[in-house]
Amino acid sequence: DAGVIQSPRHEVTEMGQEVTLRCKPISGHDYLFWYRQTMMRGLELLIYFNNNVPIDDSGMPEDRFSAKMPNASFSTLKIQPSEPRDSAVYFCASRKQGAEQYFGPGTRLTVT
């Protein structure tokens, strides 16, 4: 298996622009997680899905952030409009029920 795949690996955008981050989980995993990592706040859980359904989005910072999972093999995290404080590394992870999480390589987002 190729592992969790994220794209793009790096994204540089200007404040106010829409940003879309993509994730392909490991086949057969029924949980998908989006995390954000910064030096100041460490690793934060933003949202997670079970069988494509959002279960807990309490970590989503504000309405500018939205996440979807239209099918078992694809998820997006969208920021609209983006702000400089959104600059971070965004990780996607997936797992089976009761098992460990597997993380993607991350997307490094820079908003100028």
Partner 1 sequence: AQSVTQLDSHVSVSEGTPVLLRCNYSSSYSPSLFWYVQHPNKGLQLLLKYTSAATLVKGINGFEAEFKKSETSFHLTKPSAHMSDAAEYFCVVHLYNNNDMRFGAGTRLTVKP
DSSP notation for 58-99: TT--STTEEEEEEETTEEEEEESS--GGG-EEEEEEEE-TTS
Residue number with CB closer to partner 1 (51 or 80): 51
CB atoms within 10 A of CB 57: 15
Under the rule (CB under 8 A), what is the footprint of partner 1? Answer: 31, 42-43, 45, 48, 50, 55-56, 91, 93, 98, 100-106
- State the nearest-atom distance from the C-beta of 24 to partner 1, in Å: 14
In three-state form (DSSP H/G/I as H, E/B as E, the rest C), the secondary structure along 7-18 is ECCEEEECCCCC
Residue number with CB closer to partner 1 (31 or 65): 31
- State the nearest-atom distance from the C-beta of 42 to partner 1, in Å: 6
- State the nearest-atom distance from the C-beta of 68 to partner 1, in Å: 19
Q: Which amino acid is at 7?
A: S
Token pair recorded at residue 80 = 């609209």
Residue number with CB closer to partner 1 (40 or 63): 40
